[in-house]
Amino acid sequence: MENKKVSKKALRSLLKDSLQQSIGHLELPKPNKKVKKIIDRTTKKMAIEFSHLLKKEFKRSKPKKAKTEHVAHAA
């Protein structure tokens, strides 16, 4: 079984890189410190939300052993 765990720090860096890359393709002036700070803050919040979603998805995809064992013992 492959490892489904993803750290918030890894998610944050991935989101930050993709946001900066997508903003770089726009015809905007270079971001200053304030813009970079806002990007850091939003990517941190997004990483937290994505980690919660990934945890829920992983729990749903896990096979439920307790119920199958209970049914096997009842029969």
Would the pTM count as exceeding 0.75? no
Q: How far apart are CA 55 and CA 31, in angstroms?
A: 33
Enter the tokens of residue 5.
């765990």
Average pLDDT over residues 53-75: 73
* DSSP code, position 29: P
* Sequential DSSP letters for 31-70: P-HHHHHHHHHHHHHHHHHHHHHHHHHHHHHS--HHHHHH
**Domain ranges in the chain?**
8-74
- pLDDT (tens digit per residue) in 13-60: 999 999 888 888 888 888 889 988 998 999 999 999 988 888 888 888
Q: Evaluate if residue 12 carries a pLDDT over 80.
A: yes
